[in-house]
Structures are given as structure tokens and as C-alpha cells.
Amino acid sequence: MKLIINIIVIYLCMGLIAHAQIKLQNPSLDGGNGLNNVPQYWNICVETPDVLPVSGYFIQPPYHGVSYIGLGVWNSLLVVPSNRLFESVGIFLSCSLIQGEEHFFNIYLTQLKKNSVTNGDSIQLKIWGGELAIQPSYYGVAL
Amino acid sequence: MGGGACDTAQLLWCSPVIKNTTWQRYRVNFIPNQNYQFLTFGSFNASAIPSDTFHSNIAYLGLDSISDIILPHYKIVKATITQDTATHCFQLSSTAVYGGLNFQWSSIPSGFTSSAQNPGLVCPVVNTSYIVSFTTPCGSIVYDTVFADMHTGINDVKGKGNKLEVYPNPVSNVLICKCANMLINTIEITDVLGRVCSNPPLQRCMCSQDTNWRETL
């Protein structure tokens, strides 16, 4: 019986822990509920992302924890050339990605309803890799 | 927290259109072309946008509960085992992408532990898995496992029936124990005076120099 248990333990270990992992800080995106804000460890990249839910705006509960990040798409005459503002946030990794290697992770997404009303337009999430440097082109034109 | 556009050197992933108004899990797959240290998450809308609407919101996206980033085919730590032909024991060593951090070895069956990156010679008495754990700079613990097979790579193993084979005799440093056609949980070795030199149960057969032995099961 002991031998069987040992074999089971070996196979469990080999199956579960054979790969590398990179942990994010505050992956549940908790804390700092409010408009134009980000949770701890996260950075505002473009425009005014929000930490939700916020009463009177977005009241949809989080999938996990106490809050989540809301990213909007806006029209603005102030922005050229595309008239589009795409809100974005960013986070530094305590361990870097590995060039040329396959990576994957899971994220929970939803289209948000403002005051219980869905805007009804399509929205997508884009994810970029980069370094510390700030881009010279602001307001999301490069996005 | 800070402001300003963040570095978006490489677009790693673009989601499908998010139409669900309840939380759904999405799997993000990508292969970066650099060792990036920063991730940017941005909303995007590819559809035509009315130009006569000033600063009106078009759509909102909610993000929550991001899992660890997994590299399914990449080993941060790699354990290596080679058989020492002189002693019939095994050399354990490891390499890691990051240096200077914690290594911890253990074994199944239990009994062997080491905090050295390269523990050196081990002499198991049964087939044994050696597991090295390594703490990465971002705090996660990764593992690798090697297996010491007592029945391969040893040329002079012969069937002995229900017989325990222990050599060399006299022993100067490392004592090799083998058995055939039976399972042995514990082995106790005593010298000619009856003094036990291998209790608690053996994980490695180690007796002091000039010690004679007799086998007891």
C-alpha cells in the first residue's frame, strides 16, 4: 500500500508542477474602488480606468474578491486621428516572460452594464508585452 | 500607480468580441519575442464609431481574477541524475534559470533531504524518486523529479532468490545493498559484535571503516 501511495504521489507531482509559473501581484484586482483608479500594484496606462463596482455607475459584482477593473472605450474630438480612447492598465511582473516560450493564463471578462443598461456595442481586450519605458504617443493612438 | 501610456512593444493577445454580460473565463495564449517585464491590458473596439458624439462612452469591459502565467513546456529548474560507475550510486545535480536562491531536495520513499543545488552522491537501496524544489524570484516554487532505477545500468545484478546482497566487504565508505524477488521495507545491519550500524531503517547503507557486517532481515 505504501508503494502504491508513493507512486500516486510521484505522478501527482509530475503532472501538477512540471511547468514554470509567473505570479501576478493582486491577481484578483482587489481594492481601491472608485472612478479613475486602479487596484494596488496596478498602473494607469491610458485614460481613466475604474475599480468597480461603484454605486451609481457599475454595480455588477466581481467574479472574485471585492472588486475588478473596468475599461471603457470612448469617443473624443480631442483625440486624433482615430477619435478613439481605449482605456488601459498595466502591471510589472516580478519574473519576466521568457522569449520564445509558450505562455498562457486565464482571465475573467464581461461586458459591463452601466446603471443596468448594456451599451450594446462590441468590445475586446488586448494584451501587450513591454518594458518600463513610457511610450511617446499618448492617448492610445499607438494602441 | 502612475499615469501615461505604457510600453506596448508587442501585441500578445486579442480577445474575441466580449458580448457576454456575465463573467466568463478566457484563456490567454501567447509567445513573446522578448523577455518582457510589463503587461498592458487595454480595451479595444474595432467597429465604426460615430464622429458626432463627443466623449460618449461606447462600451465597457470588466476584468477580474487573473491566474498565474503558466509556461507549460519550460523548466525553470532541471534535475539531473547520472550513475556513478565506480560505486553504483547516483550523482544528483540541478540547474536553474535564476541563481542563488533556495534549492530543497527530498525523496520518495522519504529519507533523503538536501539544500544543496548539487547534492552529489546518493546510494538508494530501492528505486527512488528525487525531487528538487526551487523558489523563484517571484515567490513561486517549481519542481523537477529524477528517478534512480536500481535495476538498470548495473551490470552485475543477478537473481539471488530471496537473498539480500550487500557489498563490498569490508566496507570503507559506501555500502551497496540489493535484493531480488522480494520487497524489503527495512534493513538492519549490525557488526560482528551485534552493534547496529544502520538503525533507523536504511535509506543509504553507510557503515564506518573496518566494520564487518552480517545481514539480518
Rounded distance, CA A6 to CA B130, Å?
Answer: 12
Asked if A142's CB is within 8 angstroms of B68's CB, the reply is no
Say which of A22, A58, A104 has its CB closest to residue B138: A22
Residues of B in Cβ contact (< 8 Å) with A29: 63-66
**Residue given cell 538536501 in the structure block:** B114
Interface test with B, best of A64, A105, A115 (most B CBs within 10 A): A105
All residue ranges of chain B with pLDDT < 50 are 1-3, 48, 51-55, 153-162, 181-183, 201, 203-217
Q: Where are the alpha helices (DSSP H) in chain B?
A: none
Nearest by Cα to B57 from A75, A48, A112: A75
pLDDT at position A141 is 40
41-70 of B, contacting A, C-beta below 8 A? 41-47, 49-51, 53-70
Rounded distance, CA B80 to CA B69, Å?
Answer: 26
Report ipTM (2 d.p.).
0.81
Average pLDDT of A72-76?
71
Q: Above 60 in pLDDT, residue A71?
A: yes
Could you tell me how far CA A40 lies from the centroid of its own chain?
13
Rounded distance, CA B183 to CA B141, Å?
Answer: 34
- Of residues A111 and B2, the one with the higher pLDDT is A111
- To the question of pTM greater than 0.90 for the whole model, the response is no
Residues of B in Cβ contact (< 8 Å) with A140: 5, 42
pLDDT at position B62 is 95
Nearest CA distance, A122 vs chain B (angstrom): 6
Question: What is the tens place of the pLDDT at every residue in A120-139?
Answer: 567 899 999 998 656 544 44
By C-alpha distance, the chain A residue nearest B42 is: A88
Interface test with A, best of B34, B66, B106, B129 (most A CBs within 10 A): B66
Say if CB B91 and CB B120 are below 8 A apart: yes
Going by pLDDT thresholds of 50, 70 and 90, the confidence category of residue A27 is: very high
Partner residues linked to B135 by β-bridges:
B141
Residues of A in Cβ contact (< 8 Å) with B58: 72-75, 119, 121, 123
Question: What is the tens place of the pLDDT at every residue in B72-129?
Answer: 888 778 889 998 877 778 999 998 876 656 889 999 999 999 999 999 999 998 889 9
Question: What is the tens place of the pLDDT at every residue in A83-105?
Answer: 566 889 999 998 889 889 999 99
Total residues found in chain A within this entry: 143
